[in-house]
Amino acid sequence: MTTQLDAPHRETAPDSPETSNAETAVVIPRVLFNYVVIAVACFIIGLAIGVFGYDRVVQNNRDENSELIGSAVAAVVAALPQQPTPVPTVDPNMRYDVTDAGNPALGPADAPVTIIEFGDFNCGYCRRFFDETLEPLLQAYEGRVRFVYRDYPILGQSSVLAALAAECADDQGQFWAFHDRVYSEQVLTREVFVQYATELEMDVDTFTTCFDDATHQPEIEADYLAGAQLGVGGTPTFYINGKVLVGAQPYENFVAAIEAELNAETSDDPAVS
């Protein structure tokens, strides 16, 4: 799952018969998602091997690396539950308790509508939402919508690296500029991340130290765990005032969801006749 480099997944194409209301998302197979414990363990292992070892482990003896990975995998296998762990059912009619958890946000904190995305910088459908929908929504509902990004890196090692880099950019007030650069090109390498940091006039030494030390590993783990507990099965997944909307759906679907929330707020306000 999260940081297993070759974790199986499927993409629901726009014209697929499985796609209702034009839902498009990278989806984790149900049989895998039932093992949340496995996902969490693999996530931590992937961070340890994929990040700390990014520049350092490569230089060590290959046999020692294989032994390290083998030991880590054995530990995961030993922790496997004997029966599948039930996963929360995602109900589009339910209002979930989803917090921004101090994550990067656009729009006023008191906006009547909050949209929280669980996204992966390696996800093609997340990029589609970025390309086609995000900016028009923010412009159309300026001052009335707050957009929050939470990390849900499920598509391999590069997804985790990109999440770590973006959080390091956030430390220097450049999350959204970095976010836009990553989604515009989706080249997820340390070299490119450092290039972005340079172009955005960050303190590059601070950025690279933050990235190489995996400073924001706990925050990314927390985002992933929150999404898993909510039943997030793929990216992008959105919560609009707590109501779930899955996939890079058409702009009109987001408008309908936002308008419903705005209308509900108006009808509940006794000052509005």
Residue 183 has what pLDDT?
97
- Which CATH entry fits the domain spanning 10-268: 3.30.160.20, 3.40.30.10, 3.40.1710.10, 3.40.50.620? 3.40.30.10
Helices (H), strands (E): how many in the chain?
11, 8
More confident site: 103 or 47 = 103
Q: Give mean pLDDT, residues 96-104.
A: 92
Nearest by Cα to 249 from 92, 93, 22: 22
pLDDT of residue 271: 54
Average pLDDT rounded to a whole number, residues 76-99:
61
pLDDT of residue 151: 97
Mean pLDDT value of segment 227-249: 95
Banded model confidence at residue 17, pLDDT cuts 50, 70, 90: very low
Residue 186 or residue 16, greater confidence: 186
Give me the mean pLDDT over the 196-206 stretch.
98
Banded model confidence at residue 116, pLDDT cuts 50, 70, 90: very high
Q: Which residues pair with 105 in a beta bridge?
A: 148
Report whether pLDDT(72) > 80: no
From residue 67, give the alpha-carbon distance in Å to each of 4, 55, 71, 78.
17, 18, 6, 16
Q: How far is CA 60 from the centre of its chain?
A: 31
Q: SS3 of 127, please?
A: helix
